[in-house]
A and B are shown apart, each in its own frame.
Chain A
Amino acid sequence: SAVISQKPSRDICQRGTSLTIQCQVDSQVTMMFWYRQQPGQSLTLIATANQGSEATYESGFVIDKFPISRPNLTFSTLTVSNMSPEDSSIYLCSVVAGAIQETQYFGPGTRLLVL
């Protein structure tokens, strides 16, 4: 299994500012992902955080808005840039772990409110 922590757990931000969310895993993992959960909605994949190369973004998400870093196999950051109230969501990182089962594990999430 994998234990994932995220910082901050929650934040309230002003529109136009940026927030960087950190994700730390207790073991080295190859695959790390960032998801967004807007109020009342299910989870949507933002991007795959690739170690040593640029992140791979899903349709509708762009690097300028959601820059991602992945400096090593245990850590990643997601920045939400130039925020607007529509960015108010829970942001979750996840990893795939387990040599055979390839179970996906999620962090506790970062709850963001943009005023």
Chain B
Amino acid sequence: KQEVTQIPAALSVPEGENLVLNCSFTDSAIYNLQWFRQDPGKGLTSLLLIQSSQREQTSGRLNASLDKSSGRSTLYIAASQPGDSATYLCAPQKGGSTLGRLYFGRGTQLTVWP
């Protein structure tokens, strides 16, 4: 079974800082990896999806990298804002008959203060 670890568990920073959130997973035979954010008491919002053949994916101030062979992904947040405060989750996904079955870690709880 896929085990996902996210470091740090929590992060509190002043706005404007550039951030690095780390994700590691034990089974590197993945199809893709998705990053989500979850606001308190809410569902998940998809941020980025990286295919296993890609090394990185960018959306606005977010950039996610993937090193499939070492089982690692990193989410970079540039020029952080208070609105970025949320829990960030990464979820590697296998393909084939197991497509859609995601395994999550505990996430990184981010607080950006003004």
Residues of chain A whose beta carbon lies under 8 Å from any beta carbon of chain B: 4, 31, 33, 35, 41-45, 48, 58, 90, 92, 94, 96, 101-109, 111
Contacts and interface: CB of A to CB of B under 8 A. Distances in A.
A90 B91 CA distance: 18
Given A102-B49, A109-B41, 20 more contacts: A33-B101, A33-B102, A42-B89, A43-B89, A44-B104, A58-B101, A92-B44, A94-B44, A94-B100, A96-B100, A101-B51, A103-B46, A104-B34, A104-B46, A106-B43, A106-B44, A106-B45, A108-B43, A109-B42, A109-B43
Interface in B84-101: 89, 91, 93, 99-101
Interface of B: 31-32, 34, 36, 41-46, 49, 51, 89, 91, 93, 99-107
Contacts of B89: 42-43
Contact of B104 (A43, A96, A102, A111): A43
B106 A33 contact: no
Contact of B107 (A31, A42, A58, A103): A42
A96 B49 CA distance: 12
A35 B16 CA distance: 34
Is chain A's interface secondary structure helix, strand, loop, or mixed overall?
strand
Nearest to B4: A42
Nearest to A96: B100
A111 B41 contact: yes
Contacts of A104: 34, 46, 91, 93, 100, 102
Nearest to A58: B101
B106 A96 contact: no
A101 B49 contact: yes
A31 B31 CA distance: 16
